[in-house]
A = this chain, B = another copy of it.
Amino acid sequence: MRIAVLGTGSVGRRIADKLVELGHEVRMGSRSAGSEALREWLGEAGEGASGGTFAEAASAAELVFNCTAGVASLEALSEAGAGSLAGKVLVDVSNPLDFSKGMPPTLSVSSDDSLGERIQAAFPGAKVVKALNTINHQVMTDPARLPGAHNVFVCGDDEDAKAVVRGLLRAFGWAEEQIVDLGGISAARGTEMYLPLWLRLMGSLGTADFNIQIRVP
Contacts and interface: CB of A to CB of B under 8 A. Distances in A.
A181 interface: yes
Interface stretch (A14-22, A43-51, A198-206): A198-206
Interface in A88-119: 101, 104, 106-107, 110-112
Most buried by B among A180, A204, A210: A204
Most buried by B among A150, A180, A217: A217
When all copies of this chain in the complex are counted, the total is 2
A128 B114 CA distance: 30
A212 B210 contact: no
Given A148-B213, A201-B214, 11 more contacts: A104-B189, A111-B111, A183-B203, A190-B196, A190-B200, A193-B196, A194-B196, A194-B197, A210-B215, A211-B214, A212-B215
A150 B148 CA distance: 12
Nearest to A201: B214
Contacts of A213: 148, 212-213, 215
A38 to B, nearest CB: 30
B197 A191 contact: yes
Most buried by B among A101, A111, A191, A211: A111
Nearest to A194: B197
A121 interface: no
For the complex of A and B, the 4 pairs showing the least CB-CB separation, nearest first, are A190-B197, A107-B111, A190-B200, A212-B212
25 contacts: A104-B189, A106-B111, A106-B112, A107-B111, A110-B110, A146-B217, A153-B197, A155-B200, A180-B204, A182-B204, A183-B200, A183-B204, A187-B200, A189-B200, A190-B197, A190-B198, A191-B197, A193-B194, A193-B195, A194-B194, A201-B214, A209-B216, A211-B215, A212-B215, A213-B213
A214 to B, nearest CB: 6
A170 interface: no
A216 B207 contact: yes
